[in-house]
Structure 1
Amino acid sequence: MATVISAYAPTLDAQEEVKEAFYADLDKILPEVPKEDKLILLGDFNARVGRNHHLWRGTLGREGVGNTNSNGILLLTKCSEHNLVISNTLFRQKTKFKTSWMHPRSKLWHLIDYVIVRSKDRRDVLNTRAMTSADDCWTDHRLIRSIMSIRLMRKRRMQKRQSRPKLNIDLLGDTTYQQQLQDALILKNTGAHFLLPS
């Protein structure tokens, strides 16, 4: 199975209790996903994770953008606790394909929308990038597209064992039936067909 979780995190200026409640909810949900399932965590996390991949080895790739903020530390910590990797930071591409939101005052582009998967499923993600052609949509965020190659195994159903037909051995005591059975076996060896009474 594949489990997709869509999340919208509190903004940077939200109260600390609200942020803690969001990540506490995430802490409840993530362990409920079976370990054998594929996990895809999507969302606007309002977090800048930066590019310090040495500090966040296994969680952050080499292709991060900008600096880390406090929401970014919360997200990175949660991903590290649950063995998750931020796929947006794995692929070398132009900055415009990494960033997803433009700050209204500074007009600088930032990466705050993420596609996150389990570290063991990192190879399933072929590319994650912002769609620059979707700038004129109803949102101030660029859409993030992730291409994945996921093979899901079907659960095997237990097949019912077919019962063998029961043999009527009571007839073997009958001498006429014994003779018919013997004739049938001789004919079978010669390629002829012989019908036995039921």
Structure 2
Amino acid sequence: MLVQIKAHPINLIQIYAPTSDHSDEEIEDFYADLENLTRNLKKHEINIIMDDFNAKVGKRRVPGVAGDFGLGQRNERGDRLIEYCQEHDLIITNTMFKLHPRRLYTWTAPGDREGQVIRNQIDYILTNRRFRNATYGVKTYPSADAATDHSILVANLKVKLRSQKKQYRPPTLDVAKLRDPQIKDKFNRVALSGQKTTNSKNGKAPGLDGIPIELLEALDGSNLKNFTKILNKIYQQGNIPEEWLKSVFIPIPKKNNPS
């Protein structure tokens, strides 16, 4: 199950992996379904995959994936989970914090009793590796009143979300159409800026504004008055467009070999 929170880039994915009674083919089908579900998620978003993986990761550390504080010994299903996390830059958060074992195990077997403790860590909370420092703690609450043999697993995350500014890309202009006298005349009637640049060469790369030199050459002197009004208004208000404050310097060596 995938829940997407549109207000912020957070994706919550709840899963349930096949138990050890199922075949390896069914396990691979599970990871294939998970792959299809997460394929279109973006890496800069917070992706959280959680619930019952029916796998034991154990105490053995895996750099960038699992910490030193898992529980028990790793099994084959745990190896498969580690492999999936490595492929998708995920960390297993509830192996990163040193806690008492009762805060680590997530499942109690039906045969568990005094003198014969059968408790394992098979539920996990995975998240992007880049948000490792946003996880402040993960632990279970075995005494919670819930009708299940699993313990409630809780993670504390604190994320500072930054607004993503979309980079402006000027539209591509088909300047060849200006060769048509009717189009050129219409363009000069509606244009609001620019002046004649008869001493400039065609075919030059446009600047940061994306306006090719051919477009400016098509303007006539009648637009200079409108252009002046715009500049005076900007000067009086003091609001200079950010694009006007940028410059690009490209060093061009005189020789073919700049070294």
Structure 1: 5+ residue stretches without partners:
159-164, 169-198
Distance 1:157 1:82, change over 3 A: closer
In the alignment, which of 7, 20, 29 is matched to residue 12 of structure 1? 20
The DSSP-based 3-state class of the residue aligned with 1:114 is strand
In the alignment, which of 64, 89, 99 is matched to residue 83 of structure 1? 89
- Provide the rounded CA distance (Å) in 1 between the counterparts of 2:38 and 2:48: 10
AA aligned to 1:59 is V
The structure whose residues are more often strand, as a share, is: 1
1:144 aligns with 2:153: yes
What is the RMSD computed on CA atoms of the aligned residues?
2.1
- Provide the rounded CA distance (Å) in 2 between the counterparts of 1:78 and 1:112: 15
Contact 1:98 1:129 in 2 (8 A): yes
* Superimposed CA distance per residue, residues 29-79 of structure 1 (whole angstroms, 9 cap, x where no aligned partner): 3332101101111111011001110xx211110111100112111111101
What TM-score do the two structures reach when normalised by structure 2?
0.57
Cα shift at 1:28: 2.2
- Provide the rounded CA distance (Å) in 2 between the counterparts of 1:58 and 1:155: 27
AA aligned to 1:87 is T
1:100 aligns with 2:106: yes
- Provide the rounded CA distance (Å) in 2 between the counterparts of 1:167 and 1:76: 65
Q: Which has the higher contact order (CA 8 A, sep 6+)?
A: 1
Cα shift at 1:157: 7.8
1:71 aligns with 2:77: yes
- Provide the rounded CA distance (Å) in 2 between the counterparts of 1:81 and 1:10: 20
User: Counterpart in 2 of 1:190?
Assistant: none
Cα shift at 1:131: 1.0
Cα shift at 1:12: 1.0
- Provide the rounded CA distance (Å) in 1 between the counterparts of 2:92 and 2:85: 8
Contact 1:50 1:66 in 2 (8 A): yes
AA aligned to 2:119 is W
Q: Report the number of matched residues.
A: 160
The DSSP-based 3-state class of the residue aligned with 1:66 is coil
1:24 aligns with 2:24: no
AA aligned to 2:158 is S
- Provide the rounded CA distance (Å) in 2 between the counterparts of 1:29 and 1:57: 26
Of stretches 136-145 and 149-158 in structure 1, the one that deviates more from structure 2 is 149-158
